[in-house]
Amino acid sequence: MAVATQPFYEKTDEQKAILEMVRQFVDEQILPQAEHYDAADEFPAPIVDQMKELGLFGVTIPEEHGGMGLDLTTYTMIVEELSRGWISISGVVNTHFIGSYLLMKFGTEEQKERLLPRMATGEIRAAFSLSEPELGSDVQAIKTSAVKRDDAYEINGQKMWVTNGLMSGVVFVLAKTDRDASPPYKGMTCFVCEKEPGASENTGEHAGLTVPPKIKKMGYKGVESTELIFDGYSCPAGMILGGEEVGLGKGFVQMMDALEVGRVNVAARGVGIAQRALELGLRYSQERKAFGKPIARHQAIQFKLADMATKVEAARLLTLKAARMKDAGERSDLEAGMAKLFASEIGKEVVEDSFRIHGGYGYSKEYEIERLYRDAPLLLIGEGTSEIQRMVIGKKLLERHKI
């Protein structure tokens, strides 16, 4: 079987060239500027413009729609590199990637032609909206509703924690179309809601959608997280994902499918932030002296570095395995859950170990590790908490090993 025997680190010439380009971009453009944008909590527009030029918004979009047509494995490698620079930058592309996946897998030809070419260039960016003020893990409890009026659906309700909620031009929104459906997930539909990028009050054909001021956060700054208020917003029936006939009542299943690739993507972000924390720990421990020698020469610090590097390698392998299985068309729900669980947990642990190695300076804003310390916990929450991953892994394990 290709997946089991393929060397995980083997890269094609194309992957090597792209990753070299992304690494250079991260070292020259993201790392030197992240501190500024983080401190100001400002959207990194010039960096995002350069990402558009590099084609990073179209990595997985097919060439016929203007993208690069690359696989999940390559995308995962790119996300690790971007997250090594700053996880907020990977946040700018993450929901966009999920939106592209939804369109590519479930969209009608008309929907693909309408949106994918502009998404491939980054002219419009996508957001993904399940969570509401009263729920995140329990998606089937959503209250946002959509009711048919002539040839459109009127959406009402409040969404929460929408990454790229303000600057996006299209949001994939899960809403209830049948309150009496049993089980409830059969009464949920994904609406492809277009909006005006950057407008807090949408008007004209997008009237009825308001974006309140961005939520103030501990970390993960620069990329906005917002609520979305739908109050009589009208979405044409033709913009139900997959078309009304096929897509009505299928939203939950479609979005859970997208979360599976989203989990591999979050795992790659965990690897990237852990890799950077390891690099910072390795450097600082050789510079800082205590008791007459660099702290790296004290065995306790070496053991810490050894554990950190081992965790990073293990998380990278799990992540690449999940991505390669998905690309090979194999079932990878279990592996995606494992990768997300492990990489996000070790992301936080490795960052904390590096923070400890930095001593008091780790607590200072002068040092990059302070930002990583505030950024890493998000990965434990987004795309399903660690508890939810364990529920997915446990369920899938029992399914695969049923006696």
Please, which residue, 312 or 388, has the CB nearer to ligand FAD?
388
Q: Kindly state whether residue 385 participates in binding ligand FAD, applying the rule CB under 6 A.
A: yes
Q: Minimal CA–CA distance to 390: which of 343, 338, 344, 346?
A: 338
User: Shortest Cβ distance from residue 394 to ligand FAD (Å)?
Assistant: 11
Residue 148 tokens, joined: 């048919």
Residue 359 zone, left/alpha/beta (φ > 0; ψ -120 to 50; rest):
left
* Peptide bond connecting 183 to the previous residue in cis, omega within 30 degrees of 0: yes
Considering only 161, 284, 342, 367, the residue that binds ligand FAD (CB under 6 A) is 161
Please, which residue, 135 or 229, has the CB nearer to ligand FAD?
135
Considering only 131, 177, 226, 254, the residue that binds ligand FAD (CB under 6 A) is 131
Residue 175 tokens, joined: 């809403």
| Chain residue at closest Cβ approach to ligand FAD | 136
Residue 112 zone, left/alpha/beta (φ > 0; ψ -120 to 50; rest):
alpha
Considering only 103, 155, 162, 264, the residue that binds ligand FAD (CB under 6 A) is 162
Distance CA 358, CA 328 (A): 42
Which active-site residues does the annotation give?
383
Please, which residue, 136 or 243, has the CB nearer to ligand FAD?
136
Ranges within 38-97 binding ligand FAD (CB under 6 A): 95
By CB under 6 A, how many residues form the interface with ligand FAD? 22
Distance CA 194, CA 13 (A): 38
Tokens 């980054």 correspond to 122
Please, which residue, 128 or 252, has the CB nearer to ligand FAD?
128
User: Shortest Cβ distance from residue 260 to ligand FAD (Å)?
Assistant: 14
Q: Kindly state whether residue 388 participates in binding ligand FAD, applying the rule CB under 6 A.
A: yes
Q: Kindly state whether residue 136 participates in binding ligand FAD, applying the rule CB under 6 A.
A: yes
Q: Kindly state whether residue 220 participates in binding ligand FAD, applying the rule CB under 6 A.
A: yes
Secondary structure in 3-state letters for 374-386 = HHHHHHHCCCCCH
Partners of 194 in the beta sheet? 170
Distance CA 258, CA 107 (A): 13
Q: Kindly state whether residue 332 participates in binding ligand FAD, applying the rule CB under 6 A.
A: no
Interface with ligand FAD (CB under 6 A): 95, 128-131, 135-138, 161-163, 217, 220, 225, 378, 381-382, 384-385, 387-388
